[in-house]
Homo-oligomer: A and B are copies of this chain.
Amino acid sequence: MKDINQFTITEAVKKSFRTEEGSRFKFLLEKLIDHLHDFTRETNLSQDEWMRVLTFLYDCGKISTPERHEFILLSDVLGFSALVDMINTRGGATEGSNLGPFYLDNAPRKRLGADIAGEREGVSVLCHGVVRDTLGHALPGAIVDTWQADGSGTYPIQEAGQDKYDLRGIFEADGEGRYYYTTVLPKPYTVPYDGPVGDLLRAGDRHAWRAAHLHFMIRSPGMRSIVTELFFENTDYLDNDAVFGVRRSLVAKLEPYKPGKAGDIELERQPDAMIGFDFVLAPA
């Protein structure tokens, strides 16, 4: 019979998977096995440490629910999510950033110029800009799907008695690719830190705060959709966002509102401030 040892086991495990030659699955699996085994050999991982890793994953599974995906949170705080977003950003397009756990795929359609904040307190802000392609051409009818926390850093979906569709909206850009709506300025908030990932943050003396942001998913026929976030100049945690979501190109300037500065648009509510940001989509 053949024998395996700590040097030959990696090839033995790879060979045990009889996957299609040249397939993406085979490639991913072999890279995963290589890195997992190299990590183990390079660290001389002890059996206690091995068990702690597996118990950590077990505990992540235990606290997870459809509304609380601890593995995504783990991916976020290890920069795995951000790195995937970076790798998948196309040249010339707006940089991608975290989807986060609060996206709903059936947010209400809103008319351009609508206010999505309702009676919520806080600084009222006009968000506006143009959706373009990488050649600079406007994309009329592009879909701007946005969601965000409120002026205290909470998503309505997190609070009993609130309408989970509040502070969300799906807008259709006008004939010039423009989008505009008013909302309330979001506050920073912490990612959930009452689970295993919170324990990891504490063990690493890390905070759980995210810089204040607006979420966006932008789509247009024939173009590659983007999921990204918009941040605000001179606000907290831009340099140490807990999930590594901030990119310099996604930080925009909040200015006092000046009627007419965003063009000839009609608004449901008169805002205090305004922020302009153009989204750029690459071809699919």
Chain A interfacial positions (CB closer than 8 Å to B): 1-6, 9-10, 12-13, 16-19, 25, 27-29, 31-33, 35-47, 49-50, 54, 57-58, 60-62, 64, 69-72, 75, 78-88, 203-206, 227, 238-240, 244, 246-249, 251
Contact = CB atoms under 8 A, between A and B. Distances in A.
A83 B44 contact: no
Contacts of A28: 43, 45, 49
A interface secondary structure, majority: helix
Number of chain copies forming the complex: 2
Given A6-B87, A9-B86, A13-B244, A204 B57 contact: no
B17 A239 contact: no
Contacts of A32: 39, 78
Contacts of A29: 204
Given A6-B86, A17-B206, A28-B49, A12 B244 contact: yes
16 contacts: A1-B239, A4-B244, A5-B86, A6-B87, A9-B83, A19-B205, A33-B78, A33-B79, A47-B85, A47-B88, A50-B81, A50-B84, A54-B71, A61-B61, A61-B64, A61-B70
